[in-house]
Structure 1
Amino acid sequence: MTAGESGGLYAATICPMLEDGTLDHASLERHFTQVLADPGQAGLLLNGHAGEGIHLTRSEQSDVVRVARSVAPGRRILVAVSSENTRFAAEDARAALAAGADAVMVFAPFSWALGADPRSVVDHHRGIAELTGAPVYLFQGSVGAGHTAYKPDVLRRLLEIEAVVGIKEGSWETRAYETTRRIARELRPDVAVMASGDEHLFSCFMIGSDGSAVSLSAVVPELISALDKNVREGRIEAALGIHSALFDFAALVYKAPGHLAAARLKACLHELGRISSPACRRPTPRIETAELSALMNALRPCLDLIP
């Protein structure tokens, strides 16, 4: 598998819920269908941070995959797993793979934000790869998110794992992004480095990227595709116009506290009539009216740019 084959643009989707917290299967199917109506999307990233995977049971995670597979027979499905325990993460992954996922994206356990022994980091990924037999994508965390951003020496050891085929590069810093990309190109040119700092896609695409995996594509997938295409075809002024609009919206979606990003995306999608409810599971609060108004004011210029 080459970087081109494992890369591409992936929408990190949300998981619609009803007011009682149960999965809204009808909205979920509609959401996936609307996102994939953009032909530029190679597939979906499910059960990640935007998809509130940590709030779902294993059965529910698999349900999300089954719905996605039913509406996306020709697209690739990546499934995120996040667990403090390697065996639990692998079991979640195996269930998702059985439901129709194509590959596994390993999110760092939250405890690693306080620090993790590099041996644990490598063994966790290697164990999931061995226990699932699936292609594995790394998640390079934000430089501002504690120790979940892997240092160059750890990244080099992770790239020794043969099953690794891609990296969701979420450093949210251009210098760190390029460092990751250079290491991957040196050691594993077959591994796709996919830009995933929503506010910084333009600069990452300009440096060079094998795709993206962002939750902005859950709302405006057409703009992410257009940004990528404009950069690749040298229409930089047009790309900058898209970047400017996306930046303003993304800055509000991903501002502190960051754990509200999924709730903000859901609030916008509900306001647009694309999902039936903006509900999240406790203890995530609902987005208040004033914040939703600011989000929609920033989103409208993005919608106006959709080709």
Structure 2
Amino acid sequence: MTRHPFGGIYAATILPMTADGAIDEAALTAHLGAVLATDGIVGLLVNGHAGENAMLTVAETAEVVAVARKAAWRKLVVCGINAEGTSAAAERAACAAREGADAVMVFPPFSWALGADRRSIVAHHKAIAEAAGTPMFLFQGAVGAGKTAYTEPTLGALLEIETVVGIKEGSWETLAYDRTRRLARTLRPDVAVMASGDEHLFPSFAIGSDGSLVSLAAVVPELIVALERAVDAGDMAEGRRLHDALFELGRIVYGAPGHLATARLKACLVMLGRIPSAVCRAPAPALDAAETEALAGALRAAGLTV
């Protein structure tokens, strides 16, 4: 198949931290290197929700991009941009570009879950696009995450921004995903629509996708790549097998309460011996023993040794 220039499987990575909540650069370098070593991973999404973007300073956002650029070498680096104010978001985007990000991804500010004027949404994205001077990804929020799931008229207005090259489609519902895909195909067929609801990658890949930017690929990159390849090859039996292997892990990591997803991803990586600590920046809590054991069971079900 012909691949979109920004298509393929990206790992939406976590950010290892020390006991006091500082960035653990050595652990981050190792984490990124391990993910990138997986055949079929085309790049990284750093400073996404899984990377605790809302908790980072501008300098820390830039630091993560710099580490990722060095680790990724010729592979792609997409930097997530998440800030409530437009000027703050634009500053982060400009810093990310200076540190070598190939593209930026604009996350809806959390306050937009309550609603935002379409003019404000478009202006916010345009300012970030101008500050970055790089290609830009949109983020389509989950249907259950308030109004961070853009309406079709709003998404259509955002697709008028020339530098948009892709959409991280996180609707978390196959019908909503397909509607976004069809809208983009009509208005901007050059824009990559990336199936990025970790729990329903299989049906979304089957509907049609240009790739994915998902945090499960930071834990089981080989399975996410294998799933996409199976569907691309028309091997639906293998696709269903991989979906079944991933099901419990996706369900537990992204289940309610959703704000613990990053802590759960880090706990998985600790159990797999890939990062030294599951610390998240406050006020995220540590997981209890029961939830940790549930994650261990899901990892085993996915065929990993804990």
Letter in 1 for 2:179: T
**RMSD, aligned CA:** 1.2
- What is the correspondence of 1:62-141 to structure 2 with a 5 Å cutoff? 62-141=62-141
SS of corresponding position for 2:276: coil
SS of corresponding position for 1:147: helix
Deviation at residue 93 of structure 1 after TM alignment = 1.0
The 2-side partners of 1:298 and 1:59 are apart by: 36
| Partner in structure 1 of residue 165 of structure 2 | 165
The 1-side partners of 2:6 and 2:191 are apart by: 7
Contact 1:78 1:101 in 2 (8 A): yes
Q: TM-score, normalised by structure 2?
A: 0.97
Contact 1:3 1:166 in 2 (8 A): no
Contact 1:156 1:183 in 2 (8 A): yes
Deviation at residue 131 of structure 1 after TM alignment = 2.3
Contact 2:104 2:137 in 1 (8 A): yes
The 1-side partners of 2:263 and 2:150 are apart by: 27
1:222 has 2:222 as partner: yes
Letter in 2 for 1:17: M
Letter in 2 for 1:96: A
Q: TM-score, normalised by structure 1?
A: 0.97
Letter in 2 for 1:154: T
SS of corresponding position for 1:11: strand
1:183 has 2:183 as partner: yes
Deviation at residue 304 of structure 1 after TM alignment = 4.6
Unmatched 5+ stretches in structure 1 = none
Deviation at residue 58 of structure 1 after TM alignment = 1.2
| Partner in structure 2 of residue 150 of structure 1 | 150
The 2-side partners of 1:32 and 1:133 are apart by: 25
| Partner in structure 2 of residue 47 of structure 1 | 47
The 1-side partners of 2:129 and 2:96 are apart by: 14
SS of corresponding position for 1:270: helix
Off by >4 Å, runs of 4+ in structure 1: none
The 1-side partners of 2:6 and 2:37 are apart by: 21
1:272 has 2:272 as partner: yes
| Partner in structure 2 of residue 233 of structure 1 | 233
The 1-side partners of 2:71 and 2:128 are apart by: 27
Contact 2:245 2:303 in 1 (8 A): no
Mean alpha-carbon deviation: is it higher for 124-133 or for 269-278?
124-133
Summarize deviations over 1:127-185 as a string: whole Å, max 9, x none.
11122221110000000000000011111111111011100000000000000000000
- What is the correspondence of 1:20-39 to structure 2 with a 5 Å cutoff? 20-39=20-39
SS of corresponding position for 2:266: helix
The 2-side partners of 1:88 and 1:73 are apart by: 28
Mean alpha-carbon deviation: is it higher for 175-184 or for 91-100?
91-100
Unmatched 5+ stretches in structure 2 = none
Deviation at residue 303 of structure 1 after TM alignment = 3.2
Mean alpha-carbon deviation: is it higher for 2-11 or for 156-165?
2-11
The 2-side partners of 1:84 and 1:278 are apart by: 27
Letter in 2 for 1:33: G
Summarize deviations over 1:194-235 as a string: whole Å, max 9, x none.
000000000000000000000000100000000000000011
Q: How much identity, in percent, do the aligned residues show?
A: 59
